[in-house]
Amino acid sequence: MTSRFWTIATTAAATTLVVLVAMNFSRPEKRIEHRIEHLFGIDDPQFRREMANLLGPGIVGGNRIDALQNGDEIFPAMLDAIRKAQHTITFETYIYWSGSIGQEFADALVERARAGVKVHVMLDWVGSAKMKPELIDTMLAAGVEVERFHPLHWYTISRMNNRTHRKLLVIDGKVGFVGGVGIADQWSGHAQDPEHWRDSHFRVEGPVVAQMQAGFLDNWIKTTGRVLHGDAYFPALQRAGDQDMHLFTSSPAGGSSSMRLMYLAAITAAQRTIDIQAAYFVPDELMTNELVRARERGVRVRVLLPDKHLDSDTVRVASKGGWGPLLRSGVEIHVYEPTMMHSKMLIFDALVVSVGSTNFDMRSFELNDEASLNVYDAGFAQAMSEVFERDLRQSSLYTYERWSQRPWRQKLAEKVFVPIRSQL
């Protein structure tokens, strides 16, 4: 009897575990599966109306954005803002690793907490795995509130694949930072060699910072159940510039299709140019088809991404397996040569720019919590186009001939990884 009981119990436990793990590979809702018809261009007022009302939060004016390139510009700006905080700091990031940069950020956050500033830090459980416990203990002892997003417990196995990939820092509810940078030594320097990564981050002032604060609070509330509010977090925000923006967020828990749909809508509306800078580029069939259709409309499409320095071999294999239709249609794929390129940026018709944490892959579209800032400003688009062109000059064109001649071992590996590309 006892043996039978344990057999049944073991079988039930194993079945439950399999079911919970399988839930990580399921999608929370019906995916968008049909193409969006090209009805208007990026410069048509209808495009803004739909981006603001159909897809995202309202577009707000009166903002200013400063583009920061690589750690030499990014980290000093972020640390300076933290050290000047008077009331609140809210900080959400995927990567936070121990090292000199991690220590410098911890020291700055600790100093502000001891000065009476309310400091709230949201770390992804997976992304902060290389962070020494002593670093967190020091922050906690100083009064910094540190939370882990989706830490692993037996009762959270079903959501272990949902990570927060957002990178949001808001100071006093007035100054915000968003982009692709992680808190680790790999991002230090100026992308001068393979040990120092290429990335972009952005400092923002103006009314849109309130949307960035709300983006942080989304996961803070999910994790703690506590609402941070009041003037210290949401002060009255004055005009800081003349740029129109809004912040897109996405999450499997709250509708994961929003970011993917935003990308699709912008690709469909583009009439002249689409420039994509992506650390991880694994589009699904629908996204691939829309890029091909853009080429058929005469749109120049350029994709800039890492290859030999990509930090994930599985992503490299899964990505390259889908390049054929794009290359045949005339999409230009350029691979960045000097180091790992971690930037995430899309420029449409030199009028609209989307920057943030979102990669051009199915994990970002379906599994991660992401945050991307859309900027509707031709001047900013021109400045970011110049950044894109500079990176392009350090890249090589990947041709269809080169793709078709890739080794058979690579083609075989693609057959293995492509079916699970959403998990990579």
Q: Give the active site residue among 124, 199, 349, 369.
A: 349
Q: What is the spatial distance between Cα 301 and Cα 229, in angstroms, rounded to a whole number?
A: 43
- Which residue(s) pair with 89 in the sheet? 119, 171
State yes or no: is 349 an active-site residue.
Answer: yes
Q: Give the active site residue among 120, 165, 174, 320.
A: 165
Q: What is the spatial distance between Cα 235 and Cα 244, in angstroms, rounded to a whole number?
A: 19
State yes or no: is 415 an active-site residue.
Answer: no
Q: Give the active site residue among 172, 199, 307, 361.
A: 172
Q: Give the active site residue among 120, 150, 167, 309.
A: 167
State yes or no: is 172 an active-site residue.
Answer: yes
- How many Cα atoms are found within 13 Å in the side-chain-facing hemisphere of 121? 27
121 near 139, Cβ under 8 Å? yes
Q: Give the active site residue among 120, 150, 201, 344.
A: 344
Q: Which residue, 197, 379, 269, is CA-closest to 35?
A: 269
Contacts 24+ apart (CB under 8 A), 405-408: 406/320
Q: Give the active site residue among 196, 342, 369, 391.
A: 342
State yes or no: is 150 an active-site residue.
Answer: no
DSSP 79-137: HHHHHT-SSEEEEEES-B-SSHHHHHHHHHHHHHHHTT-EEEEEEETTTTTTS-HHHHH
Q: What is the spatial distance between Cα 111 and Cα 221, in angstroms, rounded to a whole number?
A: 25
Both tokens of residue 8? 């049944």
Neighbours of 337 (CB within 10 A): 14
State yes or no: is 344 an active-site residue.
Answer: yes
State yes or no: is 342 an active-site residue.
Answer: yes
Tell me the catalytic residues.
165, 167, 172, 342, 344, 349
